[in-house]
Structure 1
């Protein structure tokens, strides 16, 4: 029954909706436009905004695979290099539950298999 509904919806689209859309916007073929748009956008958490190490302080992070009940973290300190001309390489994150801290490379936060932005 659901298959029949899907076929009816597809027929309705191709026979009724698409001709109307093509009259209004003859250049756009909707199915092709949607397919192109979906291909151009990455899927899942990779849509995360680019990170700036100078703005990481007090940002919230969620471990994808929590260890010892440590799931939510806060970037408590951005570790500045000794020479100011050297780029920032590390950030200290603090577990919200246990207050344990660890120093990680800030670029490690861009690994979507390990970290999620925000508290989920």
Structure 2
């Protein structure tokens, strides 16, 4: 399980463990918080083609799906 600080999530780098469409490396480009300082929206961008995807940021905690940094 990856440990994530919501405050440090913006601009963090991630590697997806399974490659889809040659997209493996990603950067978190947008984070939106509600009034309780909880994340309500997260957007990642593929490094290879700049495609953006809205994801549930909690998925990044799953070490079987995501690795911290570019590997």
Task: Give TM-score scaled by structure 1 length.
Answer: 0.55
Structure 1: state its 5+ residue gaps: 1-45
Give 1:85 deviation, angstroms: 1.7
Which protein, 1 or 2, shows the higher relative CO under an 8 Å CA cutoff with sep ≥ 6?
A: 2
Task: Specify whether residues 108 and 89 from structure 1 end up closer, same or farther in structure 2 by C-alpha distance, changes over 3 A only.
Answer: farther
| Match 1:72 to one of 25, 33, 54 | 25
Q: CA RMSD in A?
A: 1.4
Give the strand-richer structure, 1 or 2.
2
Give the paired residue count: 71
Task: Specify whether residues 57 and 86 from structure 1 end up closer, same or farther in structure 2 by C-alpha distance, changes over 3 A only.
Answer: closer
Give the helix-richer structure, 1 or 2.
1
Task: Give TM-score scaled by structure 2 length.
Answer: 0.89
